[in-house]
A and B are shown apart, each in its own frame.
Chain A
Amino acid sequence: MSETLLEVRNLTRTFDMSKPWLNRVLERDGKRFLRAVDRVSFTIRKGETFALVGESGSGKSTIAKMVVGLLPSSSGEILFDGAPIGTGEGAAMRAMRSRFQMIFQSPFASLNPRWKVRDIVAEPIIAFDMVQNRQAQAARVAELLELVGLSASDGSKYPHEFSGGQRQRIAIARALSSNPEFIVCDEPTSALDVSVQAQILNLMRDLQDELGLTYLFISHDLSVVRHMANRIGVLYLGALVENAQARGLFEDPQHPYTQMLLDAVPDVDMTDREREEVIGEIPNPISPPDGCVFHPRCVKAFDRCRVEAPAMVATQYGEAKCFAAENVRKAGS
């Protein structure tokens, strides 16, 4: 449990949102950048599930894409088992690529409708030269389909013959086919109905126990995250505002944004817990507020928050980027 599998250091990604050159000259406008991911650092230990939660535009999917190398980073480092991702090419990179995989949000978009299921699942096996002959390949595909709760005969069907939940099982089988240690799951259940979501979440946990997988789990749904994760990072406007052990984060959130998110989750158990009202909306990420980016919506904001950006401080269960949490810490010690 203690060994680090993935380490992300000061990961940043900016997108150029400038108008075309001629417009900039004519309108005397400068270049404009959107910082989608802002100096994000976290580590994931072997065998655990680390979740990133945030609302639309918080940068969670951008981080997922950078971690698997689908998108280059602007700066910062991603170390997988000690070696940097995304820079190298060739044999070493290929060997490393087979050790991590990704599951996408929509199983309607992530499976090629013209391919049979057995070809979809076999693609990583072939790409990484993992079997000797076609017989071994067929046997491996059958084994994978049964592992995710489908039957071996489903391999000869096309994706459209399956429901959403079954398609997500196919996507999981494909992700598992190269024997990865680490899987990035980008909103794997948000396109599914809740009873199907339960099946997929249970399956993912069973597979984790069985195969010793490590997950980076991306979601906007706090109750799903609560169910799946050991540790949780909360993103706001591209930056981590809190990163803590899951149970602690839910019982005693340190950052006011985490508290706001928790309060906004509908109370499906009807516990009548007390909750604060949500204030305001996410600001425009091209021109974020000065100081702490959350201060215009924060109930605890004071003068310092408006001018100075807080740094991460250690909290009881992890770390949080908030002056109020810092003061609590000082008062407590």
Chain B
Amino acid sequence: MTDHPLLSVKNLTVQFPSRGAMLTAVDDVSFDLARGEVLGLVGESGAGKSMTGAAIIGLIEAPGRITGGSISLEGKRIDNLSSAEMRQVRGRRIGMVFQDPLTSLNPLFTIAEQLVETIRVHLPMSAREARERAIGLLNEVGIPAASQRIDDYPHQFSGGMRQRVVIALALAAEPELVIADEPTTALDVSVQAQIIDVLKKLCSERNASVILITHDMGVIAETADRVAVMYAGRLAEIGPVRSVIKDALHPYTKGLMGSIPSLTSTDDRLVQIPGSMPRLNNIPEGCAFNPRCDQVFARCTKARPELMHSGNREVSCWLYDDAASEATA
């Protein structure tokens, strides 16, 4: 058991049929996730980061489907399970936190009903035990007077408090992996800081792994151990968060980091990547980033770079091809 990483995604491809053509939303994505590790999945709109998360928990909506590759949890494939088998995994072994807490909570049921139901579906507990456990969870996520507030409805909570409830729900069955898709995007910055702290603390106490999907490099910097940068459905770069942020290799990551206005820099102009991300029906040949890249050369427009090792990370860029072959030689 121990020689398998907790989660292993290999050559994952997700496609959507559209007007006779197949659109590739996730294109040959591979990464491993160790137990207790926080992996940030970062990219701009349409980069395929949410789709990757949805594929892992088996929630790709038809007509989209996984058309290639595999997803393994502790060495066992989970991408080919039946929907009944997948329900045993989802919620129990993989918890989820979505962007908008209002849509992930049912407005017609109290917090107690929703938490108790979730707990009892996955764990053998009586209603009373489950309620005790629910109150304990709400205390842990920082809801004041949890034993009274548990009987309130979602609309009686503020946005930040609702997202705390959603985190409690995700952790209710002690999952080994939590997938958080833009968990703080709908929140104000001061509330965001609180939610990140809660999520980080609770997952590390349980030694649960986290895949944190976000467009916000700042949230990644605060939370993740490793970060994977996605562009047009592909992985551009993956490595330890500090290395990627301080010393990006892929030209896209460099541009992305430079375009973020920072509290400390006094630079007059932001780095600007020309153009915008290609649409899925119009992904350029070779490297998907080549039309916007300032270091493009002939090979980039012809052949697609695979992930190659460079130092402590992997990067899919031909600039690092030599470095990789030297390192292995």
Contact = CB atoms under 8 A, between A and B. Distances in A.
Interface of A: 55-56, 163-166, 193-199, 201-202, 205, 220-224, 226-227, 250, 260-271, 277-278, 281-282
A287 to B, nearest CB: 15
Interface stretch (B84-92, B185-193, B298-306, B307-315): B185-193
Given A270-B221, A270-B246, A281-B160, A264 B260 contact: no
Interface stretch (B15-23, B49-57, B172-180, B265-273): B265-273
B214 to A, nearest CB: 10
Given A198-B271, A224-B261, A260-B190, A266 B276 contact: no
15 contacts: A55-B188, A55-B189, A193-B276, A195-B44, A195-B273, A196-B44, A201-B261, A202-B269, A222-B263, A223-B260, A260-B190, A266-B192, A267-B222, A277-B194, A278-B190
B255 interface: yes
Contacts, number: 116
B313 to A, nearest CB: 16
Contact of B44 (A166, A193, A282): A193
Interface string B133-153: 000000000000000000000
Contacts of A277: 193-194, 197
B107 interface: no
B218 interface: yes
Contacts of B131: none
Contacts of A205: 268-269
B259 interface: yes
Contacts of B196: 266
Contact of A281 (B44, B191, B215, B264): B191
A202 B267 CA distance: 12
Contacts of B9: none
Contact of B189 (A163, A194, A264, A268): A264
Contacts of B215: 193-194
Contacts of A196: 44, 276
B288 interface: no
Given A165-B276, A193-B44, A281-B160, A198 B259 contact: yes
Nearest to A297: B190
Interface string B21-40: 00000000000000000000
A223 B219 contact: no
A55 B190 contact: yes
Contact of A226 (B197, B259, B261, B269): B261
A202 B276 contact: no
Contact of B272 (A198, A267, A269): A198
Interface in B171-230: 188-194, 196-197, 215-219, 221-222
Contact of A250 (B241, B255, B263, B271): B263
B295 interface: no
A223 B264 CA distance: 9
Given A268-B262, A269-B265, A270-B241, 16 more contacts: A163-B276, A197-B259, A198-B259, A198-B261, A198-B271, A226-B262, A260-B190, A262-B263, A263-B193, A264-B192, A267-B221, A269-B264, A270-B221, A277-B193, A278-B194, A282-B188
A226 B256 CA distance: 18
Nearest to A56: B188
A267 B218 contact: yes
Nearest to B186: A56
Contacts of A163: 276
**Which of B192, B193, B262, B263 has the most chain A CB atoms inside 10 A of its CB?**
B263
A261 B189 contact: yes
3 closest A-B pairs (Cβ-Cβ)?
A266-B218, A198-B259, A227-B261
A194 B44 contact: yes
B155 to A, nearest CB: 14
**Which of A201, A222, A223 has the most chain B CB atoms inside 10 A of its CB?**
A223
B45 interface: yes
Contacts of B76: none
Nearest to B273: A195
Contact of B264 (A197, A198, A263, A271): A271
Given A195-B255, A270-B245, A265 B188 contact: no
A266 B194 contact: no
**Which of B44, B189, B215, B277 has the most chain A CB atoms inside 10 A of its CB?**
B189
A222 B222 CA distance: 17
Contacts of A281: 158, 160-161, 191
B242 interface: yes
Contact of B218 (A55, A198, A265): A265
A55 B189 CA distance: 7
Nearest to B265: A269
A266 B216 contact: yes
A201 B192 CA distance: 24
B51 to A, nearest CB: 16
Given A193-B45, A196-B276, A277-B197, A266 B246 contact: no
Contacts of B245: 268-270
Contacts of A265: 189, 218, 263
